[in-house]
């Protein structure tokens, strides 16, 4: 499973990409606003730091506007930037046009198998089911990932990747991988949780203590 960072903070992208595990980055208008940076300059810098797909979201809600914005972004930004478009009727129409032009689309705000299937058939490169937001409604977001993967397994013509989004916990990441999701976009805090385990810390402490003992014996 590809591991993406869900952030528009340059320092966070620098940190996670330095570990050599980062497969891509997803951004959205909210993340860009929180970062305090200029939209295009921020995307440009992130694309320089991470060679994988960088999702940049359009602001228009009509097909013509989405297509126009997407074309402009592809002209101004690095080749690894892909276009993030919401799953609406206008978004599907725009995705169909853009995919025929060779412009990769990440279809976002997906909450059902039907939306995921329509996105794939429209030519989206990634489809992003929002796990956490489904959980917020008291439903099971991971069930949607399982259902989409089942649909994908039943249709060999689908090449669109399932990108688990709105990740809220380490369990979301691990279960997405176990269910066969192609990618997950993960907040920085959860990236930190992924590497930590109390037994690892205990093991390191023991190794260091044993090494100190060996050195002390050698000096005796």
Q: Which residues are catalytic?
A: 84
> What is the full DSSP assignment across 122-143?
HT-SEEEEBHHHHHHTTS-HHH
Residue 6 backbone dihedrals phi, psi, to 5 degrees? -100, 90
Residue indicated by tokens 């429209």: 122
Cβ atoms 27, 54 nearer than 8 A: yes
What 8-state DSSP symbol labels residue 180? Answer: T
Query: Which residue stretches of 18-62 are H helix?
Result: 29-35, 39-49
- The answer for residues whose C-beta is within 8 angstroms of residue 9's C-beta and 6 or more apart is 31, 34, 35, 188
Cβ atoms 146, 179 nearer than 8 A: yes
Here the tokens at position 159 are: 């090449």
- The answer for residues whose C-beta is within 8 angstroms of residue 210's C-beta and 6 or more apart is none
Cβ atoms 186, 170 nearer than 8 A: no
């Amino acid at each position: 499973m590809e591991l993406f960072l869900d952030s528009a903070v340059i320092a966070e992208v620098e940190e996670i990409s330095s570990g050599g595990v980062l497969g891509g980055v997803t951004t959205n208008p909210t993340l860009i606003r929180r970062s305090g940076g200029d939209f295009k300059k921020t995307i440009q810098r992130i694309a320089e730091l991470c060679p994988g797909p960088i999702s940049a979201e359009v602001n228009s809600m009509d097909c013509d506007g989405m297509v126009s914005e997407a074309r402009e972004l592809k002209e101004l930004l690095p080749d690894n930037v892909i276009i993030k478009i919401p799953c609406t009727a206008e978004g599907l129409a725009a995705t169909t046009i853009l995919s025929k032009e060779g412009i990769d689309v990440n279809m976002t705000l997906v909450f059902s198998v039907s939306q995921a299937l329509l996105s794939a058939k429209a030519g989206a490169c990634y489809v992003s089911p929002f796990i956490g937001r489904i959980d917020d409604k008291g439903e099971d977001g991971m069930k949607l990932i399982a259902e989409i993967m089942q649909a994908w397994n039943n249709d060999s013509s689908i090449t669109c990747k399932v990108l688990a989004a709105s990740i809220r916990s380490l369990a979301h990441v691990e279960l997405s991988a176990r269910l066969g999701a192609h990618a997950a976009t993960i907040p920085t805090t959860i990236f930190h949780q992924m590497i930590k385990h109390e037994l690892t810390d205990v093991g390191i402490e023991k190794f260091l203590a044993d090494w100190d003992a060996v050195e002390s014996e050698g000096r005796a």
